[in-house]
Structure 1
């Protein structure tokens, strides 16, 4: 390799030597020696070494930023002198892809390399170690967004000003906030007849996929325009609020799980409503096909095979019995030897007059501390339908999807109808029975004494 030295400054070999020496200083053997950075990080003492440790953190950040500039500058120069072509690659971005870098890092560095000359202030901050490549990339992408909103001619007039504004935000804000500021500027500066529709306003770009994983779960992925996304947030926000446990402790579910539960609640409410499009003249419901022995293990009708759902295929026997509990959005076909059977004990689902009576008694989800309205609830059989439980007011209770499937069927909470004719709940660990949501001022002991 040919090495050049300009004015006594560090060359490539010296840079490589410095990096190697730093790596060696952090190795276990150097740590054991009791000297150097590695030893400091392994044995720093409180208060005495606070300043030194914080200094290492600040310097490490600056080193990373300078390294990002170094990589971008090398990429730009490599492209200028034709290195990618000689390696049968198209450009500097393809050259970066040959390195052990994540795709997101490749894209950020490549964009910075393309703007080394026309964004001198942004480049200077990265080169001096004062700005991360993530923040610089937010400025670059923000400027690209503004350019698409106002057109090349209009953008040339405001380029320097908007670049200064976004860089000022990049120095104090997070990258996402810089992008949001760019979107605001794009709206402010866009002419009455903008040259293009911003992606955030274009519903024709909407996409969503639903796929089944190897474990049988269902994975969702969606890319929505801003207004549709706002509708989704609005629909889920209240339903995703934390729900304290019956003992008052915080909701143990993380935000992602609460959002998923809220989405399921919205879907369940939609399927329970009859005011929706029909298919073949009927309101569509979930369809399950199951041999009767799957739902009623003591059935004499022969060997059982797996139950199946219309879209997602075979389900476990436990899930099939949970469906048979009586979710309002489910219509099940019970079959044996592929012959439809009328497996109802008078009535399996909580509908009609019984549903209205149940709503009058419960008024919503009766799991302690919930109280979601009847439209969000399903009728649950206290003694499971598969175990011979009847569909009547004494054996049913309104529960929202979360508490029905996650807490009762999933976690094993118990329910009984108390002296007051209302449901009472007991945790899987046992202990005292807890009054239902709309009877929060009463106890079983009160009624027993009476």
Structure 2
């Protein structure tokens, strides 16, 4: 398979540099159709490989917390995109060979395959395998005419075509299946922008959407006749106010031994002179005015920094890495330090590199931030961790994974 894919890769590479401008219009359209069909066929191969790797447990054996996380790191995908591929690969492997074949033949797209799979699953639950097979045939035929959105709408009444005697009674089952899909597909993604802002994307289920609207709608009204904010800006400010109100309740669960909080690093002398910018523990930069405004409603938590910005003095030593020492660890690692992991600091434990029970000290140069999965993995595998010359964690993989045992770092949390 690897040799065949290499040949296909060479053929595609040759097409990349081919002069498309020289093709007559009919050949240009034919080439577009062929390229699109090839993309779907390759998608079918990709799904087969993903399913096999997932079934063997390869991602977890290599230290990933899940197959989705491993795919994100390996293929540079978003986590939701990786999960959708795994779900579809599993569905096509466990009972939908007709859909897989249609994808492999280039007759349907990857998104159409997801729609047909979801619909076929609903039909099988309500009308049995024979009706589901008929539904797949009908939907694959319709896929030549309709995009995924229209195909999903048509699929809500597919039983009218394949099992009309139970179509009406199955309508409720279809609604229930849609609710389950909404629960499965719910997600929220926080993407940092290069200028320090944060982009929110995601899909909320109906209940959560109702909760969000109930929370922010009362705060989105214009503050007066001179309020020039757009509706989107008012919703943004309402969400910020909801977060402030929530933090003030004091009822949020602890985060790594500390109560819920935001931590800002700045220089005290320059802050007093209204000159100093600041950085959140997530790495986002704040203007001097924002830092001073937040400092009016916060406790000052001092941290002494060296010339390279490394925290040097954050409190007395003790067995548990909490309080000032944990804040310094968060400032350094900014999340789980294991290569490829994107878990934020609030989800992480502080791990002694040289264990406390074996004489290790509770200090910044003997600590590393790890999420629960990678904390357990490090204790029960042949991975090792140490601090590099610049004071940041480096992880050495076992020889079976990398015979050269080249140290690896986590690049998801680096801001420079």
Q: Same fold (TM over 0.5)?
A: no
The TM-score by the shorter chain falls in which range?
Answer: 0.3 to 0.5
Q: TM-score, normalization: structure 2?
A: 0.39
Bigger CA radius of gyration: 1
